[in-house]
Structure 1
Amino acid sequence: MLRQRVITAVGMAGLFLAAVLLLPLIALAAAFALVVVLGAWEWARLAGWQATAARLLFAAILAGMLLFLFFYVELGNEPRREQIQPLLGVACLWWSFSLLWVKSYPASAALWHSRVMRSLMGLLILSSAWLAAVYLLTLPRGGLLMVALVLVVAATDIGAYFAGTRFGRHKLAERVSPAKTWEGFWGGMACAIALALVLWWVIPARMAHVSLAAVVAVVLMTALASVLGDLTVSMVKRESGVKDSGSLLPGHGGLLDRLDSLCSAAPVFALGLLLAGW
């Protein structure tokens, strides 16, 4: 199983880097849209839609939302800050509510257990993640920013895994994800801060136009959001009575099982860069 997970992870990383380095913006937006629509197919099951037709309809609705956002925000040209910032702000506000729901689960399930609410959650999470990712690509050095986003999420996850495995004693959210601990959480945050310092060294101030404090703040908030995204999808899976979101990725489960942290981190990272003056 470990070997299969490693092979799948390396393959995904290679495809991602090749796409970011070689594909033009329109092709990347389409590729990311395909991944997100496949994620919608998985989320439909988590929302309670079991029939194939219903799951296809859910994926089609999300695809329509992505198409609307592409033209509304003018992602194919140069999207204006006043167009994108409110949408990213709404996405980040949603994750604030999600934090409260995770903290109060299972009592909070009374607010979002219905298929309609879980469907709306999925549409918002997936569409805002795609919007933020494509918007990042329109910024100066957009490919580098996308790689930085993935590195922040990966560093947080890796730091949390090793710190939690070695020192984990106190449960972070036992009713949502029993394996996660506070020690793992702080290990993830420490790795994220270390990565922020490395990024600052790699991307000098004259290129980034932002201060070291801003870089650390953006990376830290992105890392926090990535943990919240993981916990939120775990919460929905637990409420839906499933272990994995799907089986598209050998050794990893479904796409959502790998992209949950990125879905929450992307809008926070993009909005953080905007507010930091990138």
Structure 2
Amino acid sequence: MLKTRIITALILAPAAIGGIFFLPPTGFALFTAAIITLGAWEWANMSGLEHQPARIGYAAAVAVVLYGLVDVSAVAVLWLALLWWCVCFLLVRSYPAGSERWGSVFVRALMGLLVLVPAWVGLNYIRAGGFHFGDASNNLLVILYVFCIVWVADIGAYFAGRAFGKAKLAPRVSPGKSWAGVWGGLFAVGVLALAASVLVSASVSEAALLVVASLVTGLVSVLGDLLESMLKRFRGIKDSSQLLPGHGGIMDRIDSLTAAAPVFALIITQLGWLTVGQV
């Protein structure tokens, strides 16, 4: 299993790096849309659409929605995403209570749109924007930074959880996660934000705002993970799919990112660090 995970990671890492740094905006939009569409195919199963024609149809519908967003205000979509993740906090916190309100196939499918579409918008909004923070002006590095927030939060949570993880975060949703893991992950994200601020010669006020923005994003990324765990637990499945040998499915890898990307994009837009018109 470990060998399979490593081989898959060695294939995926260059593809992800190439997709981020070497594709033009249109290519990046298509690259991320393909990932989101595959995620939608998996989400269809989590929604209760078991048969392939229905799952493919759902994925195609999500792709059509992405195409139709060309003339839609990206900021409006990002605000909708923030509102959605606030709702998700209540859903995860109360689970399994309340699942009768969102457990139908239709509602779970709608939830997928609210997760996947803003994630694509957030990433492409950052890709298309003009960015300025300290001495940094490369928006591609912002996308990498969002990935780093997710990765660092996950790594910090892993080690802190193993060392101090007695109090469970959401045992009815994801028994392996602990409050110690959350705090450890946020501490690691705070260190990341300070290090990034130093590297780009940010002012003290900019550094403080980046720490806050990163901590909020890191916290929301945990919620993205918990939401997918809740849907899989409700559906009775372990992984979103087996598309990535040794790693599960696409959603198992991007669940935290789907929450982090639109929230961070919105925050840095409101702070004036990112400016852009449409997606």
Question: Pick from 126, 141, 145: which aligns with 1:136?
Answer: 126
- Code of the residue aligned with 1:96 in structure 2: it is C
Q: Is structure 2 residue 253 aligned with structure 1 residue 253?
A: no
| Conserved 8 A contact 1:225-1:264 | yes
Q: Is structure 2 residue 229 aligned with structure 1 residue 234?
A: yes
Separation (CA, whole Å) in 1 of partners of 2:241 and 2:38: 10
Please, which runs of 5 or more residues in structure 1 have no aligned partner?
Answer: 74-82
Task: Give the structure 2 partner of residue 11 of structure 1.
Answer: 11
| Conserved 8 A contact 1:244-1:253 | yes
Please, which runs of 5 or more residues in structure 2 have no aligned partner?
Answer: 131-137, 274-279
Offset of residue 210 of structure 1: 6.9
Separation (CA, whole Å) in 2 of partners of 1:213 and 1:155: 18
TM-score normalized with structure 1 length = 0.93
Offset of residue 117 of structure 1: 0.4
- Code of the residue aligned with 1:35 in structure 2: it is I
Question: Pick from 184, 191, 194: which aligns with 1:194?
Answer: 191
Separation (CA, whole Å) in 2 of partners of 1:58 and 1:105: 26
Structure 1 residues 210 and 117, CA, compared in 2 at 3 Å: closer, same or farther?
Answer: farther
Structure 1 residues 266 and 210, CA, compared in 2 at 3 Å: closer, same or farther?
Answer: farther
Task: Give the structure 1 partner of residue 151 of structure 2.
Answer: 154
- Code of the residue aligned with 2:241 in structure 1: it is G
Q: Is structure 2 residue 31 aligned with structure 1 residue 34?
A: no
Offset of residue 10 of structure 1: 3.6
| Conserved 8 A contact 1:244-1:254 | yes
Offset of residue 15 of structure 1: 1.5
Question: Pick from 93, 111, 125: which aligns with 2:115?
Answer: 125
Separation (CA, whole Å) in 2 of partners of 1:252 and 1:17: 18
Separation (CA, whole Å) in 2 of partners of 1:192 and 1:3: 29
- State, as a whole percentage, how many aligned pairs show the same letter: 45
Offset of residue 4 of structure 1: 2.3
Question: Pick from 259, 262, 270: which aligns with 2:257?
Answer: 262
Separation (CA, whole Å) in 2 of partners of 1:139 and 1:6: 34
Separation (CA, whole Å) in 1 of partners of 2:32 and 2:163: 36
Separation (CA, whole Å) in 1 of partners of 2:232 and 2:97: 15
Q: Is structure 2 residue 96 aligned with structure 1 residue 96?
A: no
Q: Is structure 2 residue 75 aligned with structure 1 residue 85?
A: yes
What do you get for the CA RMSD once the two structures are aligned?
1.4
Count of paired positions:
266
1:151-230 matched pairs, under 5 angstroms: 151-205=148-202, 211-230=206-225
Query: What's the CA shift string for 1:127-164, capped at 9, x where partnerless?
Result: 11001011110123221111000001000000001111
Separation (CA, whole Å) in 2 of partners of 1:211 and 1:89: 23
TM-score normalized with structure 2 length = 0.92
